[in-house]
Chain A
Amino acid sequence: MSGEIEMPEEPGVDAPDTFEFETGIENAPVEPYQAHEIRVFRAPAHTVRMTVTGERSYIRVRPVNASPMAHSDRYVSLLDIKNEEVAFIRDMNDLDEESRKVIEEELAHRYLRATIECVHSIQMEYGVTYWDVTTDRGKREFVIRGHENTHWASDTRLLLTDVDGNRFEVIDYTQLDPNSVRLIETNV
């Protein structure tokens, strides 16, 4: 483990220098098992089990994404029944084929954020926005209240949360069809 801490990169902000912690990192809690030490599989069919090579086994683990929006493809934490971390995976490629597949399936099940592919209409009425869209998971209508639930993650990436808590995403609105682009530009 190196003494470097990666700061999140923000556009327009100077990346801070790398900090060298003299004591902080030494005292940091020991990290749990890492990708190359573990194997994840289903046994039986609906339960995700994790074994640490040649050591022990965790009967039921739950993969979660540590940073599901900014780094959805990395930093996976495996939690046990008590929600305590038993393994931390920096890079999914460090896992063996089967483990990776199981974890990816589980993550795909845990996080539902429909990607909007086409916007049919956006209607604004009385401070509420009615959306009619086609997503990668099918057609859907939803309602968004107020500006707080519309979040620009970057200049082109849009994250939406509707009144019920359904999550939607436009990965790059400029890549959508012209009508969708116009609707988003004039309404969001």
Chain B
Amino acid sequence: MTDNTTTYEERMPDALADRCREALREGESVRIAAATDLTEDLRFEERWLVVTDQRLMRFEANGAGAANGNATIEFSDAKSAAVEELVGSGRINVVIGNEEVEVIRYTPSERAKFARIARGIDQLIKKEPVNMQGEVDRTRCDRCRRLLPEPNGICSACTNRLAMMRRIARYALPFKGRLALMVFLSLLFTLAELGPPYIMRIIIDDVLVEPGAAEAGDATTGDPFTFLYLLVGAYAVVRLVSFVLEIFKDRLSVWLGGRVIVSVREDLYENLSRLSMKFYNKRQVGSLISRVSNDTESMMWFLVDGVPYILTNLLLLVGILVLLFVTSWQLTLLVLIPIPLLVIGGGFFWVRLIRAFRTKYYRWGKLVGMAGEMLSSVRVVKTFVQEKREMRRFRSSNEGVFQGDYESEKEAAVFFSTVSMLTSSGLILVWFYGGSAVIDDTFTPGALMMFIAYLWMMYEPLRWFGELNTWSSRAMSGAEKVFEIVDTPAETEDLDDPVEMKDVRGEVEFSDVVFAYEAGKPVLHDINLHVQPGEMIGLVGKSGSGKTTMTNLLCRFYDIDEGGLTIDGVPIRDISLEDLRRQIGVVLQDSYFFSGSVAENIRYSSPDASIEQVMRAARTANAHDFICAKPDGYDTQIGENGKELSGGEKQRIAIARAIIHDPRILILDEATSSVDTHTEKLIQEAIANLVKGRTTFAIAHRLSTLRRADRLVVLDAGKIVETGTHEELLDMKGHFYRMVETQRASTAVMAVGGSRGDPNRDANGHKS
């Protein structure tokens, strides 16, 4: 595949490449060669599309095809090309005569690629300059060729754990001292843990079994009781020390893990708020929330519990093995026999266990979801008298949870029993051979007891080592997902030296603007519009015609693909984002409020505004009266979605918020909708106050809202089709006239042509 945007070539199989070369005419050159995964009769097989500057050919992978007349389409016959999305597949159609003829089919896996190709074909047919720019999503991992869980996603299998660990470790660097202390404490703790069995051995061998040995072999007093008390005292001290060490060590690791995650989460959150709208369009909010919560949590869990656990247990394991070998290497080799079984068996059961638990959690989630759904739609359930049915649904789901619970616990029981059985098989061996050795007098009873005690200590962590892989990979792929966002650059970023614009007059110019959310499917073409400072523009058109997209470009939520967009003659790309957004205010149909008081919400854009400024803004927005009427006035707490407020109230608060923001350029997106006529009048007045002297773009389906607009711009399928005052547009009897007629006919809506002063009158002067 070449990087050039004027050709697109995938490597053809040899037979096909030969066949294709033969088929080419003199001077004909290949522009596109692409494989699809679907045949014309919808089987999953490879087919090839080869496009030259003269025609379009289809081949089978072995090169058969283009000789057949049906498999070739000459561009001289064709008018245009476009993709058509069907259900579960898609195709490229070429218009020949009055017909759309299918050229090639593809599955949704190849959708993005063929959208690009279709654009290329269309441009070739129309002899326009070819531009097939656009990214083709990566669907397979570059390294292991595994299919990726999401396009351009991360291959969990190829996550470089070491690199990830190193990166996480960097977050811990500021806490070097504590980190070192924790490692040191872990070492001490391990030593302390190893002590008790050894003391036990001395007690048994030197005090209990052969009290004489103490007298003979030692310079201490001959009293076995004193020796015993001394040893027991040592035992107690060692236990106490390890107890204290454990507490400090655990506290430290929780603190460290927690600190690291706090920094990671902070980086993640900071970058999330910086990322462009384009980024958010491609992702689901849910999956992003899961990165903030689940993925950081799985990292945290691993850091707080996993890493210290691995550290201490590895140290312990090494210490135990050394001591065991020193005591009796033959017996040690013997007890190592069950260990591979333990690790392998543990791993095997772990997979089943995980599966059972996953099912359980899935069902549990469904049950919770169902209960939530019931509670939030309780009115609907009750009005349709469906309580019994809901109960039945719940009961069957509840039963499913029990089954899942039972299954997983069953697996768990098997797992743990197997582990203890394997463990005891090691012990049996020790009792058998060790016991014989004691009788033969080649081994002391104390040594045997110590051996057994160490064995218990060793097997315990070993049974969990099977899951280590799962633990760490989950944490590491979580880490990778988190860092993916941390590393994503904000797509619309400031230039190196953006133009500062503290004061804007509000002159806006779109020239030949082309824009597509998704490569190959432009939603705006050839937009030309020159707006004078202070002018109010009404954007009119069906939904999907590109009205909101135009305003999105103005806010620079997205960058335009072609053409120019300037504010006061400065290209929008050159203006610093902060300055730009400070000059633009948006009032949306669904205004979003933050939890806080009414006053705080009004002064969201300028937290320093005094309460008097807030009130002045609210008064201008016709909001002051109703706010004062509330028991808590401006201190009324409103929740996330402004639950305490009616639709009209929300609108006016949003307008007050925009007034205090004092932007030079204003965007009103369906600012009056679904409110009664009296409220609408209040909002209209508020808007009239707001738009004074500001360049305004107003979007509305209800054409009445736009009566004050200086000019109306009618959009259809991404193009400006009409521009003018409403009188002019009505006289034109074009798109706008038809829209007004339809609205007048379908509802008793106030028409735009009506008297200016009174929004409550329709076109015929009737009170509505």
Contacts and interface: CB of A to CB of B under 8 A. Distances in A.
B673 interface: no
Tell me which of B98, B100, B149, B474 has the highest count of chain A C-beta atoms within 10 A of its own C-beta.
Answer: B149
B173 to A, nearest CB: 28
A138 interface: yes
Nearest to B87: A111
Interface in A93-150: 108-114, 124-128, 130, 135, 137-143, 145, 147
Contact of A145 (B98, B99, B107, B149): B149
B149 A166 contact: no
Given A165-B88, A186-B355, A145 B150 contact: yes
B392 A13 contact: yes
B147 interface: yes
A157 B254 CA distance: 47
Given A112-B87, A137-B43, A128 B149 contact: yes
Contact of B44 (A140, A165, A186): A140
A45 interface: yes
Contacts, number: 89
A114 B37 CA distance: 13
A46 B150 CA distance: 36
Given A112-B42, A114-B44, A137-B44, A47 B107 contact: no
B389 interface: yes
A126 B355 contact: no
A141 B145 CA distance: 12
A55 interface: no
A46 B111 contact: no
Given A68-B87, A164-B108, A46 B99 contact: yes
Contacts of A45: 99
Given A13-B392, A128-B149, A47 B99 contact: yes
Contact of B87 (A12, A46, A110, A163): A110
Interface size grouping (class) on chain A: 35 or more
A44 interface: yes
B395 to A, nearest CB: 10
Contact of B156 (A109, A125, A138): A125
A140 B37 CA distance: 10
Contact of A127 (B42, B108, B111, B149): B149
A117 to B, nearest CB: 12
A178 B146 CA distance: 27
A167 interface: yes
B7 interface: no
B355 A138 contact: no
Nearest to B37: A140
Contact of B98 (A47, A128, A186, A187): A47
B302 to A, nearest CB: 14
Contacts of A165: 88, 108, 111
Nearest to B363: A147
Contacts of A138: 43-45
A122 B580 CA distance: 52
B474 A109 contact: no
Contacts of A126: 149, 156-157, 473-474, 477
A138 B44 CA distance: 5
Given A13-B389, A113-B88, A164 B111 contact: yes
A164 B107 contact: yes
B576 interface: no
Interface in A26-56: 44-47
A111 B111 contact: no
A112 B149 contact: no
A127 B150 CA distance: 12
A180 B146 CA distance: 22
B88 to A, nearest CB: 4
Contacts of B89: 112
B99 A166 contact: no
A165 B111 CA distance: 10
B151 A164 contact: yes
Contacts of B108: 164-166
Given A124-B355, A137-B42, A111 B86 contact: yes
A126 B89 CA distance: 28
A108 to B, nearest CB: 8
Contacts of B150: 145, 163
A181 B757 CA distance: 73
Contacts of B392: 12-13
B107 A44 contact: no
B147 A125 contact: no
Interface in B597-651: none
Given A113-B87, A166-B108, 7 more contacts: A13-B389, A45-B99, A46-B101, A108-B42, A112-B42, A114-B44, A128-B149
Which 9 pairs from chain A and chain B are nearest by CB?
A112-B88, A126-B156, A165-B108, A138-B44, A112-B89, A164-B109, A128-B149, A143-B147, A167-B88
12 contacts: A13-B389, A110-B86, A110-B87, A112-B86, A125-B157, A126-B156, A137-B44, A140-B44, A141-B147, A164-B109, A164-B111, A165-B108
